[in-house]
Structure 1
Amino acid sequence: MNDATAAEIRQFLLDSLTEMNYSTDDIDDDTALGPAGADLESLSLAELAVRVEDRFGVRFDDDEAEKLAGMTVGEFIASVAERLAAAATAGS
């Protein structure tokens, strides 16, 4: 994975959470996005997914929202990076 890309995704994620009025003080790659960590509700997870889709041009399926809640920040970043790499490989 491209470290610059991971860093860019991480920064975008933290900036988005801040804009959505979530505290990012204690958030690291091991923090869960859902109730066990950052405590994002399903609507907030959907908003975050849309922000990432708009910014990076990747897509999340509607049925992935529940899966996102179980991901850690690091897993989410890796998932976005994998989608970016797959899109680049596909030439889109």
Structure 2
Amino acid sequence: MTSHDEIKKFAFEALGEMNYDTADFDGDTQLGPAGVDLESLALAELGVRVEERFGLRFSDDELDELASLTIDEFCAAVETRLATPATSA
């Protein structure tokens, strides 16, 4: 099972690869304008990177909501999704 710390490490690495300076970021940093300041395309890219790495999918609505989450809240949401068996739609 993937831990919160593993997801967080991946998120920080992904943000770094996306040319964000993560030196001043911590778990309480918001992904949206009040923190990392990810715009919609960057939020989508982070979502896609997490989807590819951890094998889960975000709906468009979920991607839009990422901006309101802190890094720790985002990682907890991914961790919960990974622990919950997928259901067919």
Query: What TM-score, normalized to structure 2?
Result: 0.91
Q: How far off is 1:37 after superposition? A: 0.2
Extract structure 1 runs of 4+ deviating beyond 4 A: none
Q: How far off is 1:5 after superposition? A: 1.1
- 1:67 aligns with one of 47, 65, 68: 65
Q: Which runs of 5+ in 1 are unaligned?
A: none
Distance in 2 (alpha carbons) for counterparts of 1:34 and 1:59: 20
Q: How far off is 1:63 after superposition? A: 1.3
Q: Name the residue aligned to 1:36.
A: 34
Q: Which runs of 5+ in 2 are unaligned?
A: none
Distance in 2 (alpha carbons) for counterparts of 1:59 and 1:32: 21
Query: What TM-score, normalized to structure 1?
Result: 0.88
Secondary structure of the residue aligned to 1:87 is coil
Distance in 1 (alpha carbons) for counterparts of 2:9 and 2:85: 21
**Identity between Structure 1 and Structure 2 (%):** 57
Please state which structure has a larger fraction of its residues in helix.
1
Distance in 1 (alpha carbons) for counterparts of 2:35 and 2:25: 8
